[in-house]
Structure 1
């Protein structure tokens, strides 16, 4: 939650300069305008030239130009009422996120224009995740405006809170899905140095408006605390997503092809989504003794979605083996409701330690696939997701408050877990690129352990960190739609799939039961050490070294090796000076000291035959200077 305006006049100015011409500016002013009216204003501006070198045109990609701002007025007409009005906005212009070919399997890779690794190598981008070879310039442009009014009213025996908000955003986005130059010909034997035959550019425009209203009543007593409330939300989203094959026009090497004659432009997601949701809830905490508290709560939730989908082929002649999609218009709706709850007990068994245990249920409403390729998929909703979470934990301080240790163990049991995957489906064999679908895994489980600590070893030396362990599994997950069989629907199903019939064209039903959940690394670790030296009137100098580790994880529920995020380690460091009065702070920093090449996202195409990943930033350094008053 953003801090509120202050009565005292305060301010802050911050500048960051760094590698690749990074220049950030930020500031804040806060103070009283009158005895009953306080104000606060802040902004943050970032400019960054990017760290991706495009081997086709020699340009630097991945530029960032963002501006965010916020203004607040706090009116306190008397001791019982507060009105806080907040307005905020953001204007973001963000450049390319490079897609790098990282894997292949099967016969679709043969050293010609079908082979993304060969194409990437031919253009000089092979082996370097920060070298781009895309001919389409990707971007993200986003404008956001928000308004909120919060009322806090002390009624004596209880407090009334009202939160009203309105947000609207405009979003434009484009990405070369393979990070490679497109090729106009449909001949699969074309040499890779001429481009990638299966290149696809994905772009989207989205307008969103959202209104929310919440009312709460709460009270605190000697032995009983309680809160009741109601929440209402309306959200309207209009989105158009366009696929250009092989590209949306532009330069391949130094030749401007404009709109290629065999481009196929598919407005595969012309979507309008109107969502209405509301909920009522209540929770109470009763102190059984001075050290034991019992908490219970219930929530009823309802959500309705009215959607309109359109899909069409606009123009062009489809290259062999890409999108074949019928024109359609579908209007449909669905609704979901749920009662969820929580029971928890806290035991403060000493002044420095508390044990807790809880059981709670959760709910996530169903929905519709965002980019359906057929009218049948457009009008079919996926189910709501429910979960029951069991947790026990310890929060503790030791050795005269020099060591803090928090431990939590949990088990989450999901019913109808919503899973999104990218695949080719047997009922749409012409879509060789693939499509995103969301399905329900009948049963899934997560078991985990989390530990965090902070140790003040001396007055100058501090250590800290966290550790997490996850054991995840799809207990029962057999999708309701068939994948395209190998060989474009001509070969027998793999051993872990069941054929729909004797005809391979009818597809294969995969079975993900027993697999790990997607994006769930088994181990994650964060550690740091910090040394602070007191220089008296000169101020404080500190040095901090931090380390993070993430185990390998899967991005697809089939746990295909081609869509794995390998484990990685990141080292960061900084040296800082804080003036004796606390007004000045200057920090020199280095991120990703070892220049680790690590993936942040990955997806596969052509029935998991080829894979493309985005990578985190390389080693970067800079200086941050801040003045507060």
Structure 2
């Protein structure tokens, strides 16, 4: 079926979306049943009740409100207030709190989320992520729009392992669901101001207004800005026209404005209508690539083709905070969304209709090497021997310098209808889901020093126009076999279709192929279907102590390689992934609910992994992006989380994750060394050990003096590979990071003043690594240095 003749697809899609119409997914949940709105506003995931003991945590992990301790699924849940207190502002920071979750970022629009070693490196328009990112249950299709600002949230839920029955849609690794606070019938204002080093200046606010007895509205915003962590050093060499006299300036800042408007109408005693709008406008500062290693041949020469030598020669090697690129790069990101949700209560259950529209635009450019280019190198030899520059003095700049430019815009419609029974001995839910997605993406690869006889730097641009749609139906039933033993059964049928138009352009140096070759618009299409299922047993060993066992499957659809070198590579689809997860766990509250322990052990049989590599194939003179299917992988692991109230004032908590994730057999396309057997290698973003913890103490100052709360937290992560070849350059080394904060709260809870510090040991650690030239040169980005500041909040 051609994109130019897709009338039937449009008709089918329109009918499905109309049937599912209004909008997106799960209704919001409160943390405790029968709370009044004021109590709900103050609720936190880990708080103490009036009596000593941990509060009940209510989540929507199974698309109904349930205590997290009664759900046979591995879940981490974090209250919005707790995240704000810890200065957790985005998805990136959640990895510091969650067992099994890692987060790498090639650039702001290309997040690489991995849960239990399951992730996606392919960033093309025709590929899907392995982790479902949702806001109030609305699936976000474009990865460039999935890094969500964390403000005015009720909580964040992170479901680990395949969620193929209730969520489907490529949730083979897990689900991250942001749940916003909803309007209520109490007038409320909250203002928050943060100032910090590196010119950080964040302002946020929320106002909740009851317009009538049954009509409530809320508006919230967050403006975040900082001046950047990196120093741009521009050497004084007048013979290079793009260089000015020696100088330096601070770069890499960011300026983001995010907002959300919600209106809740209680139309009748049984019908609620929620209308939400949200948007973000972000100016993205430069990211600083740093050379981290080079090997021979050629790149260990101490010459202009050796990035380490160039970095040293031009004065950047003394710190990872120095940037030597020729331009202060960056970009921008804009996103908008609207969601409509209707919920009607019947005597036997709840009917939910939901639907959403989302759009985003993204542009970003950055220097892949963080180095300036040498004078143009004519690789054809028409302007002299290219070795004169390739082997030249490193002070002339880097001969293999290159930049990356991305343009992406997306548009999506989603719809879901769900009918769920009331809680009881026998409970059930059925639903249908549909989505339509359009993503247009272009990526330019710019070699700023390499050229043909024209001496124009080599610039090639790959473009993909993607149109996809998917539908699914699902059902899940649960039955209490005895007072203590329950069984859950679920299944989901999914159908997904993708169509693409791809073409490559050689903007300059058309006779020189370094990564991409030119080809005209070429069409490709494919479709896939899947049935995922789940079986779970849970047994209440004692009051507040549950053991469970579950077998669940997950599916991620196939797709198309982004930025492929040839037309054949761009239009040849890779196949879907499938995973079967075997898991046992224990969830328990002990000692009058002053100790909570959650344990899980799992084994995942993973088939046909989609593996993305950038390498130089055997017999080729150029690098190539390719996504291909590995045969099988095995993932084994253990996770533990605990929270303990040692006294009424002292709380400690922590987590531990062990992961053994390897390719059982994977024979990939050979590179120029002849190697392509990756069997036995570790999966990407799969650290063997990660451990974290916190200690928090609250002191009542007495009378009207308020209270003081102190919190110290830390996380350790062992070495993780960032490529399937397990190259020693392609690693995130082990690292330990610590944060701390001290807050005063007034007795009436109207005022909060907090001092905080993040990364207080000033740990220098990588957040992303990639290699070029057959893994002979490596470049990385680094996490922020020590940051500190103060936050003041007023609530009324």
TM-score, structure 2 normalization: 0.73
Among candidates 647, 668, 679, match of residue 513 of structure 1: 679
1:98-148 Cα offsets, whole Å, 9 max, x none, are 100001122122111100001111111114111111113221310000001
CA-CA distance at 1:463 after TM superposition: 1.0
3-state secondary structure, aligned to 1:24: strand
CA-CA distance at 1:247 after TM superposition: 6.6
8 Å CA contact 1:519–1:554 kept in 2: the answer is yes
8 Å CA contact 1:475–1:514 kept in 2: the answer is yes
Q: Partner residue of 2:578?
A: 386
3-state secondary structure, aligned to 1:325: coil
3-state secondary structure, aligned to 1:372: coil
CA distance in 2, matches of 1:292, 1:389: 21
8 Å CA contact 1:318–1:324 kept in 2: the answer is no
Residue 664 of structure 2 corresponds to residue 472 of structure 1: no
3-state secondary structure, aligned to 1:562: coil
CA distance in 2, matches of 1:446, 1:540: 46
Q: Partner residue of 2:671?
A: 483
CA distance in 1, matches of 2:214, 2:515: 63
Q: Partner residue of 1:13?
A: 191
Over 3 Å counting, the alpha-carbon distance change for 1:137 and 1:430 in structure 2 is: farther
CA-CA distance at 1:193 after TM superposition: 0.9
Over 3 Å counting, the alpha-carbon distance change for 1:31 and 1:348 in structure 2 is: farther
Q: Partner residue of 1:191?
A: 393
Which has the larger displacement, 546-555 or 455-464? 455-464
Over 3 Å counting, the alpha-carbon distance change for 1:125 and 1:278 in structure 2 is: same
Count of residues in Structure 1 that have an aligned counterpart in Structure 2: 591
Q: Partner residue of 1:141?
A: 332
1:309-347 Cα offsets, whole Å, 9 max, x none, are 00121223667x834623333101011110000001111
Residue 479 of structure 2 corresponds to residue 286 of structure 1: yes
CA distance in 2, matches of 1:141, 1:402: 47
Over 3 Å counting, the alpha-carbon distance change for 1:317 and 1:232 in structure 2 is: closer
CA distance in 2, matches of 1:626, 1:51: 26
Among candidates 774, 779, 782, match of residue 612 of structure 1: 779
8 Å CA contact 2:473–2:493 kept in 1: the answer is yes
Q: Partner residue of 2:604?
A: 412
Q: Partner residue of 2:343?
A: 152
3-state secondary structure, aligned to 1:602: strand
Among candidates 16, 33, 49, match of residue 227 of structure 2: 49
CA distance in 2, matches of 1:607, 1:280: 45
Residue 521 of structure 2 corresponds to residue 340 of structure 1: no
CA distance in 1, matches of 2:519, 2:303: 33
8 Å CA contact 1:136–1:247 kept in 2: the answer is no
Residues 14-163 of structure 1 mapped to structure 2, 5 A cutoff:
14-56=192-234, 57-109=247-299, 110-163=301-354
3-state secondary structure, aligned to 1:119: helix
8 Å CA contact 1:416–1:442 kept in 2: the answer is yes
CA-CA distance at 1:248 after TM superposition: 12
Residues 413-428 of structure 1 mapped to structure 2, 5 A cutoff:
413-426=605-618
Among candidates 502, 505, 521, match of residue 309 of structure 1: 502
3-state secondary structure, aligned to 2:569: helix
1:139-178 Cα offsets, whole Å, 9 max, x none, are 1310000001001012332321011100000000111011
CA distance in 1, matches of 2:515, 2:339: 44
Q: Partner residue of 1:214?
A: 416
CA distance in 1, matches of 2:792, 2:390: 55
8 Å CA contact 2:400–2:449 kept in 1: the answer is no
CA distance in 1, matches of 2:787, 2:429: 47
CA distance in 2, matches of 1:345, 1:450: 19
Among candidates 578, 595, 598, match of residue 403 of structure 1: 595
Which has the larger displacement, 44-53 or 183-192? 183-192
Residue 336 of structure 2 corresponds to residue 164 of structure 1: no
Q: Partner residue of 1:277?
A: 470
CA distance in 1, matches of 2:515, 2:561: 18
CA distance in 2, matches of 1:24, 1:64: 11
Residues 469-618 of structure 1 mapped to structure 2, 5 A cutoff:
469-479=658-668, 481-485=669-673, 493=674, 497=675, 510-536=676-702, 537-618=704-785
CA distance in 2, matches of 1:548, 1:34: 47
Residues 253-272 of structure 1 mapped to structure 2, 5 A cutoff:
261-267=455-461, 269-272=462-465
Q: Partner residue of 1:506?
A: none
- Tell me: higher relative CO, structure 1 or 2? Use CA pairs within 8 A at least 6 residues apart: 2
3-state secondary structure, aligned to 1:168: strand
Over 3 Å counting, the alpha-carbon distance change for 1:349 and 1:415 in structure 2 is: same
Among candidates 515, 531, 545, match of residue 353 of structure 1: 545
Q: Partner residue of 1:253?
A: none
8 Å CA contact 2:515–2:624 kept in 1: the answer is no
Which has the larger displacement, 60-69 or 149-158? 149-158
8 Å CA contact 1:112–1:188 kept in 2: the answer is yes
Say what the alpha-carbon RMSD is for the aligned residues: 1.6
8 Å CA contact 1:263–1:318 kept in 2: the answer is no
CA distance in 2, matches of 1:625, 1:393: 41
8 Å CA contact 1:323–1:430 kept in 2: the answer is no
8 Å CA contact 2:280–2:333 kept in 1: the answer is yes
CA-CA distance at 1:39 after TM superposition: 0.3
Q: Partner residue of 2:154?
A: none
8 Å CA contact 2:399–2:450 kept in 1: the answer is no
8 Å CA contact 2:376–2:448 kept in 1: the answer is no
Q: Partner residue of 1:257?
A: none
8 Å CA contact 2:504–2:516 kept in 1: the answer is no
Among candidates 440, 445, 448, match of residue 637 of structure 2: 448
CA distance in 1, matches of 2:302, 2:450: 25
1:278-302 Cα offsets, whole Å, 9 max, x none, are 1000001111122211100000011
